[in-house]
Structure 1
Amino acid sequence: MSAFERWQAANNRYLANEIAGLRARLERLAASAASDAAEPSWRQRWLKPAEASSPAAPAVAVVEAGEDADDAPTPALVVLARRLQLSDFERDVLLLCAAMELDTRIAPLCARAQADANKPYPTFALALALFDRPAWDALSPERPLRYWQIVNVHQSMTQALVASALRADERIVSYLKGANYLDDRIAPLVGALPEYDGDAPPSLQACVDAIVERLHAADAPIVELVGSDPASKRLVAARVADALNLRVCRIGADAIPQAPAELEALARLWQRECALLPLALYVDAYDADRAGSAGAAVQRALGAFSGLVFFDVREPWPRVARETLPVDVAKPLPAEQRALWLAALGDEHAPTAARVAVHFDFDAATIARAAELSLALANGDADQVPALAWAQCVAHARPVLDQLAQPVEAKATWDDLALPDAEKSLLRQIADQVEHRGTVYDDYGFRARMNRGLGISVLFAGESGTGKTMAAEVIANALGLLLYRIDLSAVVNKYIGETEKNLRRLFDAAECGGAILLFDEADALFGKRGEVKDSHDRYSNIEVNYLLQRMEAFRGLAILATNMKSALDGAFVRRLRFIVKFPFPGLPEREAIWRRALPAGLATGAIDYARLARFNLTGASIHSIALNAAFLAARANAPLSMPLLLDAARTEFRKLEKPVSDGDFRWLERAEGAA
């Protein structure tokens, strides 16, 4: 028999003996009520001592013959009475109400003892007459029975308080029987923290040790976990709770009642649960608006909830009602992430562990899951692990990023670029710096010397259609990373403060998933500073400053694209690492673009690429003409021909509102005449 089974058996014997003693008391009170007709009515009899109030026969002890009383397990009723500070009388009232739920013989005895067949239930009047040392204030809202919702009073509009039915709370009855579970009024509001069985990285274990030491030295404060990685903060909280033998329940800021009365009821229930279970609370306010109604509810809750409370925030909140222990928690350090990957994948995959640790910024649990899934999918084929691990990492942040920015499918390659050699060289340098940043920052020791962040911020400047987006695609494709476009001309949200929040989520997700960010229309936000004329301008400047700060702190690649480099603020431009100019394509570049615009294997007639290159068009327009001409060929069920290309070119010129002269399309007219 297990220790719990032994305790449960002893607890059941104790409870049965206590209820047997209670039945004996009720029997004597019922007999007294039936035989003494000269006494006043039963409703008044509780005002003076009754014979039935004398102690019943001593309850049979839990301890069996020959058992040492000091070693006997403590019954649940005794534990509850001690933890919730019940008086002897209040404990007896609870026993009476609980017995009503556990023993069908109690109800008729209650009716007989009260000389009222309509009262087959406990009342306060019955308790006052039944037990020793009765106390009128036992039913006060401030005394434990009602304060902790141990006993509920069911009182009708016309019924006296002492004559109202008393009923034990279901959770309390279950506790007395040995079923100790979280109250079902709290359970739907909270959840468990994610499990992680591995060792905490040293930097996080240091946080755990510091918190545990502080909690051992003083009463439990609010532990304010500050930082941008909720997963690491949850791991710290879970390990602290493990060290203190506590179970952590997480509650979101949106689940905290905003009505004061509802919050007070929840706080009392939680405090009661903390007395019955080893609990700690994790208040998740990471995305909560401090200035909003949810933030105000969180502030009130922090003052109301007792016991150990972990408070998850991105940045420190103003002083709350209780003592607060702020602790900064970050993701595992780069070297720790590399060690986690190596431990999860195995020594044979050390190069893969090193590469993914450089490009992605994951917490310990995410690394463990990604590595486990990669090895499972590889099914013993070690050659597949590098690609599978990379794919798992890339896919991790996609769901969040897809909500915040426009994904760009990166298919273009270096061969698709039609740029001067100097610009191509700059683009390759950018890709190389992203690929080899781990070597430079960590192996060469430059990380310790960097004071402006480890990211790479670059500017692509040139007219629309000159290849800025394609260049971003080429870099993303070469590195195997996701690419997302953000339109900065619409970045300032009409709801003040939402832009900063969304940018924060965007940068966090991109940094985690190694994504490349392409900010379009950079001049819309980073133009030369002008006069602040209204609140919109003021908040625009706030968003600009925040974006600048995040770009410098961003450890990935951020690309800003503009059509008007001259309109950009000079101080901003100087903070960029690279500036790549995208000139209007010259004749050789246009011919190269034309040759790559038509897919290999496409059925064509004789194409005069030199003739087409004389059209003064950007690469984007050339690709548009090629696509439209292909549709014309499909309609005619004929090979793609020069006449169709020139016809599509004429349409493109008109779309761009460029002047169209007959001489530009004279070849087309000669071809038509010959036909």
Structure 2
Amino acid sequence: MDDHSELMPRLELLHDRVAVLIENRSAGDPTATDPLRGLFLSAEAVTYLLDRRPDPVPGTDAYAAALRRPEGRLLSLAETFALSPLDLHILVVALAPDVSRRFEPLYGYLNDDVSRRRATVALALELAGLQTDQILARARFHPGAPLFADHLIMMDDNPHLSLPSRNLQVPERVVAHLLGDDTLDGSLTNAVQLIGQNDPDSLLDRNFTHRLANLLTARDQATVVHLHETRPGSGAAVAVAALLATGHPVLRFTSTDGKLVPALVREARLRQAAIVAGPLPDDPAGTTRLIQALETARVPVVLTGSAPYDPHWSSTGAPIPLEAPGPRSAPAQLWLDEFGSAADGLDLASTVSPYRLGADQVRRATRSALALAALDGGPLTRTHIQQAARRQSAPLLDRHARRVTPGVGWADLVLPAEPLSSLRELALRARQRDRVLGDWRMRTGGGRGRGVIALFAGESGTGKTMSAEVVAGELGLDLYVVDLSSVVDKYIGETEKNLERIFTEADQSDAVLVFDEADAVFGKRSEVKDSHDKHANMQSAYLLQRLEQFDGIALLTTNLRANIDDAFTRRLDLVVDFPFPDAGQRARLWHHSLAGAPLEPGLDPAHVATRFEMPGGAIHSACVTAAYLAAGRDGRVTHDDLWSGAEREYRKMGRLVNVSSF
């Protein structure tokens, strides 16, 4: 039997019962044929009302028997919401005008008011053969009764009307459900995504997903779980996969509007679905309201968010707090499956390995990369893929760090072989950390994360920040330089809070984080002589702990390596020393910096490189000065221009220029 044919026969039986009640009432009613009945009370009508006794109670008939033996969706509704036969009767009486308009004038007649064309509490009870003075009957209209607690029926809240006179109305979503329509509730359209099936996500931790699915189905009562996410969306993906594995469709609720929760819970119970809600609101009060509304939903509920679980959110302690598994890099095959032949000739494995994206994010990134390639009117390139992948990462660090889009590469570095080799190893570690630390289980205990942390040490201008930019460009990631002036705070504890925000946001982003002049916050701990020493040491202890838990890529730069605490050094993956350039390297730096400028024929900066001992940063500044001097006279860069630029940089460095020695 289909859903529609199962409801309509019960409405026909209800119509017969309404006809019996009308016949019984109109038999002695002197106003039965009065066209103004219900609008005007004559003396004769008043006398009739004073003498009137309750209408005969209809006996047990086919209608009552049908409600005691519901079928199809009525049966499912009764079982899901624990509805009694009387509840089903009230529901059918209330929804009758929404299905067939012929009930409206009949209800108006029985209500003694032609304008009251919906069932009232009194009419619903009369049609059941009950009176409004029966306590058990009235209890079915209590706010805590199943029909009203679960929002299957709405009732007038007009305080001027008595309970028997109040109108009953069934929400359109419930009517549509009983008629066989499974369209999502209109009020939830912009807040809920219905997920009935999903492609398996090969990036999820299958062991955790399986255990979560068992937890959500093993208990007698519906389970509420809170998944703490280290990266937005990672907990929701696991929750959806676990719930789909249990056979439940999923309602993915992304709104923070608590007013939608009653409709959400009703929708979930109508569909026998589970709820995945998140991210939770930022304000604790909003989170508390949302959780307390959902923890009594009587369906599996998974709450997700980046804030750790707070027991004060729940008055019952129902949610079970769990940690969602951290994200992993998507395998190149997943990208290749999405790109198809468009990626032929590209080294996808090295291009996409730095990105910690889920399967859905990979699909969005591939579509974006193909669109970028089409915009450029050429084939898909490594740059298109990296640009699209960066857009899928959470760009939260702009509030606390300066963003640098990498614009240099390996060819721009002039370094000895040893630091250059260390930089390439750094990029290798960033690409292969999931395999080595995850698949091969090489990560140490103690809660250590999968981050890659390196220290760049050397004099100012030797290329530390530029090398960080090259590494970020090689990995296809944005570079964020932390402004320590906005981090270090004179008030106790505030520096740690600022750093925690930066580390948390970096954990949620695919980016390279650079702490320039890191000795300001990563300095050596000292003997405690006063309260300032104590709190400085506490700050260092916090940083030691936080670095071990970090899952991103962090680079520390310092001009004074001796000032870095040894405990930090032991926790570093790499220490790269940037030496002061010798004469040969300085000559290469001069040539490289002048590569794009118009030069005087035969100009060789080797002589200037030999005479002026400067690091790469100062050499570049000297070349810029020389270029401005040449542009000012609309000519080419000459030896005198180079000499003038070098002298100026020498004086800026506090060095004396002994002209006679040159």
TM-score (norm 1): 0.76
**Contact conserved, 1:408 with 1:485, CA < 8 A, in 2?**
yes
**Contact conserved, 1:256 with 1:301, CA < 8 A, in 2?**
no
**Contact conserved, 2:4 with 2:178, CA < 8 A, in 1?**
no
- Give yes or no for the alignment of 1:225 onto 2:227: yes
Q: Identify if the C-alpha distance between structure 1 residues 437 and 60 changes in structure 2 by more than 3 Å, giving closer, same or farther.
A: closer
Q: Identify if the C-alpha distance between structure 1 residues 306 and 648 changes in structure 2 by more than 3 Å, giving closer, same or farther.
A: same
Structure 2 counterpart of 1:162, which letter?
Answer: P
Select which of 153, 156, 164 maps to 2:155: 153
Q: Deviations over 1:349-402 (max 9, x none)?
A: 8995654575443334444555687799999xxx97884795377535556266
Structure 2 counterpart of 1:133, which letter?
Answer: L
- Give yes or no for the alignment of 1:524 onto 2:524: no
Q: Deviations over 1:536-576 (max 9, x none)?
A: 995x8777555544544556653211123233222212332
Q: Deviations over 1:456-503 (max 9, x none)?
A: 422112333222112223444455554432234433586984642442
How many Å separate the matches in 1 of 2:564 and 2:576? Answer: 14
- Give yes or no for the alignment of 1:310 onto 2:306: no
Structure 2 counterpart of 1:49, which letter?
Answer: P
Structure 2 counterpart of 1:233, which letter?
Answer: G
**Contact conserved, 1:476 with 1:482, CA < 8 A, in 2?**
yes
**Contact conserved, 2:309 with 2:321, CA < 8 A, in 1?**
no
Write the mapping of 1:46-125 to structure 2, written as runs, cut at 5 A. 49-51=54-56, 53-55=57-59, 58-59=62-63, 74=71, 76-77=73-74, 79-125=76-122
Once the two structures are overlaid, the 10-residue window that deviates more, 320-329 or 140-149, is 320-329
How many Å separate the matches in 2 of 1:282 and 1:535? Answer: 47
How many Å separate the matches in 2 of 1:194 and 1:497? Answer: 42
Select which of 21, 33, 58 maps to 1:25: 21
- Give yes or no for the alignment of 1:133 onto 2:137: no
- Give yes or no for the alignment of 1:563 onto 2:559: yes
How many Å separate the matches in 1 of 2:300 and 2:529? Answer: 47
How many Å separate the matches in 2 of 1:304 and 1:472? Answer: 51
Q: CA RMSD in A?
A: 4.8
- Give yes or no for the alignment of 1:485 onto 2:481: yes
How many Å separate the matches in 2 of 1:179 and 1:42? Answer: 46
Q: Partner of 1:509: helix, strand, or coil?
A: coil
- Give the deviation of 1:87 after TM superposition: 4.2
Aligned to 2:200: 198
Q: Deviations over 1:266-285 (max 9, x none)?
A: 65544443432212111324
Q: Partner of 1:139: helix, strand, or coil?
A: coil
**Contact conserved, 1:302 with 1:322, CA < 8 A, in 2?**
no
**Contact conserved, 1:141 with 1:147, CA < 8 A, in 2?**
yes
Q: Identify if the C-alpha distance between structure 1 residues 557 and 267 changes in structure 2 by more than 3 Å, giving closer, same or farther.
A: closer
**Contact conserved, 2:228 with 2:307, CA < 8 A, in 1?**
yes
How many Å separate the matches in 1 of 2:459 and 2:618? Answer: 12
Q: Identify if the C-alpha distance between structure 1 residues 216 and 524 changes in structure 2 by more than 3 Å, giving closer, same or farther.
A: same
- Give yes or no for the alignment of 1:208 onto 2:210: yes
Q: Partner of 1:526: helix, strand, or coil?
A: coil
Q: Identify if the C-alpha distance between structure 1 residues 231 and 34 changes in structure 2 by more than 3 Å, giving closer, same or farther.
A: same
Aligned to 1:144: 146
Q: Deviations over 1:422-464 (max 9, x none)?
A: 5445445545555676887689x67267885554422112333
Q: Deviations over 1:585-628 (max 9, x none)?
A: 45544343222221246243664625533345442233223224
- Give the deviation of 1:421 after TM superposition: 5.1
- Give yes or no for the alignment of 1:619 onto 2:616: yes
- Give yes or no for the alignment of 1:283 onto 2:287: no
Q: Deviations over 1:24-73 (max 9, x none)?
A: 53454345444698786788789x5312x32497459999xxxxx99xx9
How many Å separate the matches in 2 of 1:131 and 1:637? Answer: 102
Q: Identify if the C-alpha distance between structure 1 residues 436 and 207 changes in structure 2 by more than 3 Å, giving closer, same or farther.
A: closer
Write the mapping of 1:622-641 to structure 2, written as runs, cut at 5 A. 622-641=619-638
Structure 1 unpaired stretches of 5+: 64-68, 668-675
More helix by share: 1
Q: Identify if the C-alpha distance between structure 1 residues 556 and 468 changes in structure 2 by more than 3 Å, giving closer, same or farther.
A: same
- Give the deviation of 1:95 after TM superposition: 2.9
- Give the deviation of 1:10 after TM superposition: 4.0
Structure 1 counterpart of 2:513, which letter?
Answer: L
Structure 2 counterpart of 1:235, which letter?
Answer: A
**Contact conserved, 1:18 with 1:59, CA < 8 A, in 2?**
yes
Q: Identify if the C-alpha distance between structure 1 residues 345 and 296 changes in structure 2 by more than 3 Å, giving closer, same or farther.
A: same
Q: Identify if the C-alpha distance between structure 1 residues 121 and 44 changes in structure 2 by more than 3 Å, giving closer, same or farther.
A: farther
Q: Identify if the C-alpha distance between structure 1 residues 465 and 220 changes in structure 2 by more than 3 Å, giving closer, same or farther.
A: same
Q: Partner of 2:514: helix, strand, or coil?
A: strand
Corresponding residue pairs, total: 632
Q: Deviations over 1:501-538 (max 9, x none)?
A: 4422213323xxxx433221211211123569889995
Q: Partner of 2:562: helix, strand, or coil?
A: helix
Select which of 358, 361, 364 maps to 1:363: 358
How many Å separate the matches in 1 of 2:495 and 2:28? Answer: 74
Q: Partner of 2:168: helix, strand, or coil?
A: strand
Structure 2 counterpart of 1:309, which letter?
Answer: V
How many Å separate the matches in 1 of 2:252 and 2:381? Answer: 36
Aligned to 2:398: 403
How many Å separate the matches in 1 of 2:82 and 2:10? Answer: 20
Aligned to 2:8: 12
**Contact conserved, 2:240 with 2:276, CA < 8 A, in 1?**
no
**Contact conserved, 1:30 with 1:112, CA < 8 A, in 2?**
no
Aligned to 2:325: 330
- Identity of matched residues, %: 28
Q: Deviations over 1:250-309 (max 9, x none)?
A: 334x7053xxxx6xxx655444434322121113247857xx334433553454433211
How many Å separate the matches in 1 of 2:22 and 2:533? Answer: 76
- Give yes or no for the alignment of 1:255 onto 2:256: yes
